Amino acid sequence: MRYRNWNEKGERKFRLSVLALLILVLAAIHFFDPTFYPTIYHLSKDGDLRGTIAYLHSFGIYAAFMSFFIDVVINIVGFLPSIFISTANGLIFGLFWGVIISWLAETVGVLISFYVMRTLFRGMAMNIINKSKTLKKLDSYDSWQAMAAARAIPYMPNGLVTAIAALSSMHFRSYALGCLIGKLPSTAMEVVLGHDVVNMEEHAFRLTILIILITLIYVGIWYYNKKKKKNLLIYF
């Protein structure tokens, strides 16, 4: 029992140390460039594609690295839309590298966000979960396949999915694998769709197919949830 308590305390200290290091790095960026975070916030909030492309071009040969870093930061925060940077990646670096950069950056961002939320809020969540049998059943659910399915949905709010996973007992390995696999198709759709909207005259047919495909995905999700809702209520 003592060993278990010491192990849990040691793990928490390690998590808090990593979190402190992350905060220090992000604070250092603000110290060296006070305009960085306000610029990213306004570009994301306004969906300023031209401004984003011009901003990335200003970094010259480091544009890809900066795009990756910006996308990571946006996905750590969780509530800012990343579609503007995904579209810019496709337009600046081409579809292949645009997808690769966006996919890996979004995956890294949601993994760090999970780590932060798990460190700060899992203890509080456990106090609530332990008071409910229903929440205990939900909390015991651990499936990388389910996470991959959630992440594969285009334009799904990253922060919401991350929070649900972080406050549950899902293992980091399952979460990471699900995100890595699921993020690829959704990010690819977002990059290509954004690219084709800007170049609508050249890619009208592909754009139409993508819109139909995304619509079918959401209709399928709606139908599945409607069909399973009664079974879920009966189960719990």
Q: Where are the domains of the chain?
A: 35-193
Q: Is pLDDT at 42 greater than 60 in this prediction? A: yes
- 8 touches 122 (CB < 8 A): no
Terminal Cα-to-Cα distance of the chain (whole angstroms):
33
- 159 touches 79 (CB < 8 A): yes
Tell me what the pLDDT averaged over the chain comes to.
81
10 Å CB burial of residue 179 (0-12, 13-18, 19+) is: buried
Residue type present at position 190: E
For 145-176, write each residue's pLDDT tens digit.
Answer: 888 888 888 888 788 888 888 877 788 899 99
Q: What is the Cα–Cα distance from 122 to 158, expressed in whole angstroms?
A: 18
Residue 96 is predicted with a pLDDT of: 94
10 Å CB burial of residue 104 (0-12, 13-18, 19+) is: middle
